[in-house]
Structure 1
Amino acid sequence: MFVVSLHYVCEIQEVEQHLEDHVAFLDREYANGTFLASGRKNPRTGGVILARAESQTQLESILAQDPFYQHGLAEYEITEFVPTRTSAELRCLLEA
């Protein structure tokens, strides 16, 4: 499992111009089962994505399709982790 932290490297107005395409990208990856949760940081300096992928290389390939990446609007920090404990509601995130 991976946590992806996006940090905007441009003005928020430029982010807004590509938001609709970014949301379409997110929707596609939710449908593919790659993304499990996502949202804006507060304050709005970027976002966070919780993702599943076979490898970091595979995830990087997926993230390269994000319009925010393609237009150079954000930097991406990827952290891999293995969840070993969760609340009852998130037990499905535990790896076998």
Structure 2
Amino acid sequence: MFVMELTYTAPVDRVDALLAEHVAWLDEQYAAGVFLASGRKNPRDGGVILAVGDSRAEIEEVAARDPFVTGGVCTYRITEFLATKTAPALAGYRQRLPA
């Protein structure tokens, strides 16, 4: 599982100009089963996405296609973790520690 942390690198008005495209990209990733949750940070200086994928490289590729990235208004920090404990609704995403 991955935590994708976005940090804005441009003023919010430039971010907002790309917001509709970013939301469409988010919708595509939810439909593909990659994203589990997302939202703005408070204060609004970026956002956070909880994602699943087969590899870090796959998630980095997904992030590179974000219109916020291609538009030059954000950077990503991607953290991989093993979700060994989850809420019941996320039980299908639980992972085991390597042997």
TM-score by length of 1: 0.94
Shift of residue 42 of structure 1?
Answer: 0.4
Partner Cα separation in structure 2 for residue 60 and residue 2 of structure 1? 10
Partner Cα separation in structure 2 for residue 30 and residue 45 of structure 1? 23
Unaligned runs of 5+ in 1: none
1:68 aligns with 2:72: no
Per-residue CA deviations over 1:29-67 (Å, capped at 9, x if unaligned) read: 000000110000000000000001111111111111110
1:85 aligns with 2:85: yes
Identity value in percent: 48
1:45 alignment counterpart: 45
Please report the RMSD computed on the Cα atoms of aligned residues, expressed in angstroms: 1.1
Unaligned runs of 5+ in 2: none
TM-score by length of 2: 0.91
3-state SS of paired residue (2:7) = strand
**Runs in 1 of length 4+ with deviation above 4 angstroms?**
none
Partner Cα separation in structure 1 for residue 88 and residue 49 of structure 2? 21
1:12 aligns with 2:12: yes
Partner Cα separation in structure 2 for residue 93 and residue 58 of structure 1? 17
